A and B are shown apart, each in its own frame.
Chain A
Amino acid sequence: MVEYAKDRRYLPTHEWVKLEGEEAIAGISDYAQHELSDVVYVELPEVGETFAQNEVFATVESVKAASDVYMPMSGEILAINEDLEDSPQLVNEDPFGRGWFIRFRPSKPEEYDSLLDAEAYERHCREEAEKGG
């Protein structure tokens, strides 16, 4: 059963972002990890780097493919999930929790409002799955 966590928002490209005060955490959705299958490697940015919304900030590799991961909101990287280096399977096991990618400081907090809520994102995923046959 695919989960859609309600306490955060999503990009149509399957990244989630969760606000925590002035900071935010981001990762990829449960739907995304299902589609990727077993994640074998995650390439993360450096702390201190800044990215614009929709810019590629990470790459996630599964047995099937390597996929770009897009920044859900503009901001500066404050921390990366170093556990993913030795345990990339955390992305599969707990995509909304221990499989987080980055903690960052949003530079344009208003971008949050333009993102999909869990309901809209779930609809988007269903449509995408149907399109695929």
Chain B
Amino acid sequence: MRKLLLIAFKDLKLIFRDKAALTFMLLAPFLLTLGLGLVTGAYGSSGSSGISQIKIIIVNQDSGQLGQALVDLFQSAGLADLVAPTLVSDPLTARAQIDANAAVAAVIVPAGFTDNIIPANYQAPAADILQIEIYKNPLSPVSAGVIQSIVEEFISRVETGRVGGQVIVTQLLSAGLIAPDQVSAIAAEMGQLQANSVDQAPAISLQAAQSGPAQKAFNPMAYMAPGMALMFLMFTVSNGGRSILAEQARGTLPRLLVSPTNSAQVLIGKIFGVYVTGVIQMLILIVTCSLLFNIQWGNPLGILVLILAAVFAATGWGMLITSIARTPGQVGNIGTAIMLTFGILGGTFIQNSFMPGWFQIVSKITPNAWGLDGFTTLGLGGSLVDLGRPLLGLAVMGIALFVVSILIFSRRSFAQK
């Protein structure tokens, strides 16, 4: 055991004295995280769990109760988190603000809207149908869609009231429950009823309940920073593997075997050194990003276990590359290529949820995808118990890769040359 630790510690010292390796292990992921943070504007916001405070402009030209009811709806406490309404009087001003990208949508209620739906004294409805205009900002389709949904629900309620009044009066009349001369009075009563029916409970209703995992406001940096750290972790493990072949090429490996140390101890010691280096690299990056970018990574125990598992799987890849390659240069080239390929496959540059299903399946060969899955879970408020899937994925990957690598190493009679 002591021999293993000595070999690992020796490799650790060598790597942390290598300025080039340190540049790639620590500086590169840090700078790229910084760059991505600038792109996403992550430094300027505290993070968000989705759509919030949708800026809208309301123009209410209607003097009746329906126009005011719509304004009241948008200003209600129930929509306070979702919508940030501003009232203006001029439709032209409202549209201009949307065109200037100052808000997501303008809702314009025309003059006479209430009278158009609920004619005074049960007169015949007007031939011209007045419409609420939703002037949408094409750059915010989802947020504008939310506003449209709210207006549509409101119109549905209004329309239900209108049709309801009409159906009730007609039915009462045709059933002989009211006389023709009562229509006017009943219609007035129904008019009042339909106006009030905006708040009526629907026939199909929703029982909404907040359940499932508690979710914290998510800082995009908590995704980008581990993404970069995991990508450059692949460099660390392949660089470690490179050192094994470099010792072989320089002849220092056979020298080690002159001492009372067998080849298995040497190999395990070196692999352990690579593993410890990867863990230290991840910890340094996480602590640095926490301090500089104020990233809340989530449950500390979960983070630690996830790092140990991710580095284990990544080290498996490093060993596989080393077992296949013939020269240190080959390990460097293949390792860098795999680092970059895993970076784009694993979601470092594009979030995998935006990619098609087959791409997401392929991404599972990378420790990056499993690791990011875990970091995202923790960043959203998950704990160690929520990490079952990523931890299992990383563990299986690591074990499989180590078994294959050891088989190849033994066939190549590692360290005997």
Pairing of A with B: no
Show the binding face of B for A, using Cβ within 8 Å. none
Show the binding face of A for B, using Cβ within 8 Å. none
